[in-house]
Amino acid sequence: MIRKTPISVKDSRGFYTSRTITCYLEEPCEMLVEGIAPAIIENIGLMTGMPVGPLSLPDAIGLELPYHVLDQTKRDLGDAYKPTASDTVLKFLVEENGRHGRRNGKGFYDYSEDGKDKAIWPGLAGLAEPTLTDAFSDDVKDELKKRILYRMSLEAARCMEEGIMTDPREADVGATLGFGFPKWTGGPISLIEQIGIEKFVEECDALADRHGERFRPGPMLRTMASEGRTFY
């Protein structure tokens, strides 16, 4: 007995859980290059209910992994590859500053020799001029939380649209058990259902207008919203 819960996933780049959790790393990189303070980003990630902060997680994994994944993706996709803030942040950390994560004691954080203590690396300020560093409104806090949760939920919906996942129950289970998507939501597909597909599409369009096309919902969600259909 390996005590694991299996899900069925179509063979594709990133499969399902890797594609979805990658958004938990990518959107915080977008925030970093916007000048949002790293401590705010880390705490916002935890406030969504994720078990590990979005800057602590890649440090624990090792920054070489996402760096090499990006490099391989660029080579595989060629002209179809669209650069993101992750390219900028990982190049800055790994290439320009030799920061590989907890393994060598320096990543998004600086680590003590025994690895027990850590502090956000002050050099991250070199990525962008600060725009948000201390007190901010509840509306801003809610927007930042939505950016993280909605990015992952949109990616889960895209996997459903592309046939990578065919059962919303497995999409929810794979996310909550596979990488700790906040259990209070029931999973990324259930989160969309809680919000209501029509409202979710509307809010994602508003996020896309403010922050970029990565938040723009696909045809499947738009059709479901217009026809009043649900995943469950």
Is 6 within a domain? no
Same domain, 105 and 21: yes
pTM above 0.75, yes or no: yes
Last residue of a domain, one of 127, 154, 173: 127
Same domain, 23 and 117: yes
Task: Note the pLDDT of residue 67.
Answer: 92
Chain-centroid distance of CA 103 in Å reads 22
For 3-19, write each residue's pLDDT tens digit: 888 889 898 888 999 99
Same domain, 147 and 175: yes
Distance CA 52, CA 102 (A): 14
Question: What's the number of domains the chain is made of?
Answer: 2
For 116-149, write each residue's pLDDT tens digit: 899 999 999 999 999 998 878 999 999 999 999 9
Last residue of a domain, one of 107, 127, 147: 127
Is 79 within a domain? yes
Is 1 within a domain? no
Nearest alpha carbon to residue 107 among 125, 94, 91: 94
Is 10 within a domain? no
Same domain, 34 and 112: yes
Last residue of a domain, one of 96, 127, 158: 127
Instruction: Look up the domain containing 194 and give its range.
Output: 138-227
Residues sharing a CB contact under 8 Å with residue 79, sequence separation 6 or more, in sequence order: none
Same domain, 76 and 50: yes
Task: Note the pLDDT of residue 114.
Answer: 86
In 12-129, at which residue ranges do the beta strands (DSSP E only) sit? 109-111, 118-120
Same domain, 30 and 98: yes
> Residue range 29-50: average pLDDT?
97
Distance CA 73, CA 230 (A): 33
CATH value at residue 188: 1.10.1040.50
Is 11 within a domain? no
Q: C-alpha dihedral over 193, 199, 203, 206, to 10 degrees?
A: 150
Same domain, 145 and 93: no
Same domain, 55 and 119: yes
Q: Letter for the amino acid at 110? A: D
Same domain, 71 and 170: no
For 83-117, write each residue's pLDDT tens digit: 999 999 999 999 999 999 999 999 999 999 888 89
Residues in a beta bridge with 119: 110
Task: Note the pLDDT of residue 2.
Answer: 77
Is 132 within a domain? no
In the chain, at which residue ranges do the beta strands (DSSP E only) sit? 109-111, 118-120
CB 109 within 8 A of CB 118: yes
3-state helix, strand, coil in the chain (%, to 5): 60, 5, 35
Other C-beta atoms closer than 10 Å to the C-beta of 43 total: 13
Same domain, 101 and 57: yes
Same domain, 121 and 180: no
Distance CA 56, CA 153 (A): 21
Same domain, 60 and 108: yes
Counting DSSP H helices and E strands in the chain, the numbers are 10, 2
Is residue 206's pLDDT more than 90? yes
Is 122 within a domain? yes
> Residue range 195-217: average pLDDT?
98
Is 193 within a domain? yes
Q: Provide, rounded to the nearest whole percent, the portion of the chain with pLDDT above 70.
A: 100
